[in-house]
Chains A and B, each alone.
Chain A
Amino acid sequence: MTRVTEVATTAAIIILTYLALVFELLPVPQTFQEEIVPVLPWWALVSFGSYCLGTLGWNVMTFGECPEAYNELMREIAEAKDDLRSKGLTIN
């Protein structure tokens, strides 16, 4: 099963289950049907937004510093600048 097929199948199952709940094809308690079913897509949207922001914030918070990579990158930049200067390009 390809990735696309897997995503499409999961989405179809979730959407069909939700539509079955909306059109009252599944027996559920009354409070659940009246108050929670209409609000589920909005809850999913808010949760998705929170998940995105939270993951970004967490990864920025716990990002490990890599000093060797930083030094190596600065060295490579200096080398490239010298190389281009020797070939006639003006770089400050």
Chain B
Amino acid sequence: MANGKDKAVGAAAFSVAVSVFVYYTTWVLIMPFVDADHPLHGYFPANEYRIRIPLLILVVGLTVICSFLALVMIKSKSKKTKKSN
């Protein structure tokens, strides 16, 4: 049953997703067309990070997923050889 705590977690996840999307879209698709001396540029990091941040997240995410898969496969293999011994 979806109690209050579950709904709060869902609401938090939803707002994080919306904020990330709005911030990143503004930074990447709108700021290039804003004059260099506009104060809005102060709210965003330097331009190289437009690609570095998603790249870093992708690399870390793939590493975590592959490490988890590797661990699970090794554990199941060692369990199988231990059983057949």
Is this pair of chains taken from one and the same complex? yes
- Chain A CB within 10 Å, residue with most, of B1, B17, B24, B29: B17
Is A23's beta carbon under 8 Å from chain B?
no
Q: Specify the chain B residue showing the minimal Cβ separation from A54.
A: B17
Q: Specify the chain B residue showing the minimal Cβ separation from A31.
A: B32
Q: Which of A31, A36, A39, A58 touches B14 (beta carbons < 8 Å)?
A: A58
Tell me how many residues of B have a C-beta within 8 Å of chain A: 28
Min CB–CB distance A24 → chain B (angstroms): 17
Count how many pairs of residues, one from A and one from B, have CB atoms less than 8 Å apart in the complex: 80
Residue-wise interface mask of A (15-37) relative to B, using a CB-CB cutoff of 8 A (1 in contact, 0 not) = 00000000000000001000110
Identify whether the interface residues of B are mostly helix, strand, loop, or mixed: helix
Tell me how many residues of A have a C-beta within 8 Å of chain B: 27
Question: A57 touching B10 by the CB < 8 A rule?
Answer: yes
A46 to B33 CA separation, bound complex (whole angstroms) = 21
A53 to B16 CA separation, bound complex (whole angstroms) = 8
Question: A56 touching B13 by the CB < 8 A rule?
Answer: yes
Is A68's beta carbon under 8 Å from chain B?
no
Question: A46 touching B54 by the CB < 8 A rule?
Answer: yes
In addition to A31-B33, A46-B20, A63-B6, 20 A-B residue pairs with Cβ atoms within 8 Å of each other are A36-B29, A36-B32, A38-B51, A42-B54, A43-B24, A43-B28, A45-B58, A49-B17, A50-B18, A50-B24, A52-B17, A53-B16, A57-B9, A57-B11, A57-B15, A58-B10, A60-B2, A60-B13, A61-B10, A62-B10
Q: Which residues of B are interface residues toward A (Cβ below 8 A)?
A: 1-2, 6-7, 9-18, 20-21, 24-25, 28-29, 32-33, 47, 50-51, 54-55, 58
Q: Which residues of A are interface residues toward B (Cβ below 8 A)?
A: 31, 35-36, 38-39, 42-43, 45-47, 49-54, 56-63, 65, 67, 70
